[in-house]
Amino acid sequence: EVQVVESGGGLVQPGTSLRLSCAASGFTFDDYAMHWVRQAPGKGLEWVSGISWNGDTIGYADSVKGRFTISRDTAKKSLYMQMNSLRPEDTALYYCAKAYGATVASITFDYWGQGTLVTVSS
Amino acid sequence: YELIQPPSVSVSPGQTASITCSGHKLGDKYACWYQQKPGQSPVLIIYQDNKRPSGIPERFSGSNSGNTATLTISGTQAMDEADYFCQAWDSSVVFGGGTKLTVL
């Protein structure tokens, strides 16, 4: 059974950092691109970042470029998001999503986790 | 790049619901659709314009031409009440703003 499970969310102050993790199982992790998508309370879906199967291609939304860094560890079958200089507008439920294909442009997200909540507030 | 969806659509049970997603030359790209029920994660219901993942009922179908992708739900059921999001690629992943489908 394919599963992606996020962790690492929490309440942090503006300007601080947080690292999200996503543990994958049930599929060959290094065959597929992976993505982070967030959803602010009561709002729609916003793509945050994606990484290709081998980590060679990475994309970021303009809203997080220069502050967030996506990475993956094949041995640990895990996806990560290092979030620096956090702002109140980064408050959201962060989902990890498996892509149907290997590239960042593979937009079909066929499996989603339950999300991890990040709250940025003083 | 922007994908525009109507904020809300209403449909009577058993009728056909259509949810549109508009974007510049969207028909030249692949579109996907996701369903999200309250308190749950999004679920892929249509990919590559008109393909259904296994387990998605046949009443869900998709089309994409010109500037508009359309999700059609035939014989809408109460359980289909949810938020629906379209998605496409234009140098990055783009989601539409979402449409709340009410079945009344």
pLDDT, residue B80, reads 98
Separation of alpha carbons B37 and B59, rounded Å: 17
Task: List CB contacts (< 8 A) between A52 and chain B.
Answer: none
Smallest CA–CA separation between A76 and chain B, in Å? 24
Chain pair A-B, CB pairs under 8 angstroms: 54
Separation of alpha carbons B91 and B63, rounded Å: 22
| Three-state secondary structure of A45-91 | EEEEEEECCCCCCEEECCCCCCCEEEEEECCCCEEEEEECCCCHHHC
| DSSP assignment letter at B47 | B
Smallest CA–CA separation between A27 and chain B, in Å? 17
**How many Cβ atoms from other residues are within 10 Å of residue A52's Cβ?**
20
Separation of alpha carbons A29 and B71, rounded Å: 31
Q: Decide: B21 and B96 in contact? Cβ < 8 Å.
A: yes
Tell me the C-alpha to C-alpha distance, in Å, between residue B39 and each of A3, A75, A111, A114, B83. Answer: 18, 32, 16, 9, 11
Q: What residues contact A69, with CB distance under 8 A and at least 6 apart?
A: A81, A82, A84
With an 8 Å Cβ cutoff, are B47 and A105 in contact?
no
Smallest CA–CA separation between A110 and chain B, in Å? 6
Quick check: B30 pLDDT over 90?
Answer: yes
Separation of alpha carbons B26 and A26, rounded Å: 33
With an 8 Å Cβ cutoff, are B85 and A95 in contact?
no
With an 8 Å Cβ cutoff, are B41 and A100 in contact?
no
With an 8 Å Cβ cutoff, are B42 and A112 in contact?
yes
Tell me whether strands A92-99 and A34-39 are parallel, antiparallel or unpaired: antiparallel
Of A47, A107, A110, the CB nearest to B30: A107
Q: What is the mean pLDDT of residues B10-34?
A: 97
Q: What is the mean pLDDT of residues B34-48?
A: 98
| DSSP assignment letter at B28 | G
Q: What is the mean pLDDT of residues B50-75?
A: 97
Instruction: Show the low-confidence residues of chain A (pLDDT under 50).
Output: none
Where helices occur in B2-81 by DSSP H, the ranges are: none
- Please write the tens of the pLDDT for every residue from B58-67: 999 999 999 9
pLDDT, residue A105, reads 86
Length of chain A: 122
Residue of A nearest to B40 (CA): A114
With an 8 Å Cβ cutoff, are B42 and A114 in contact?
no
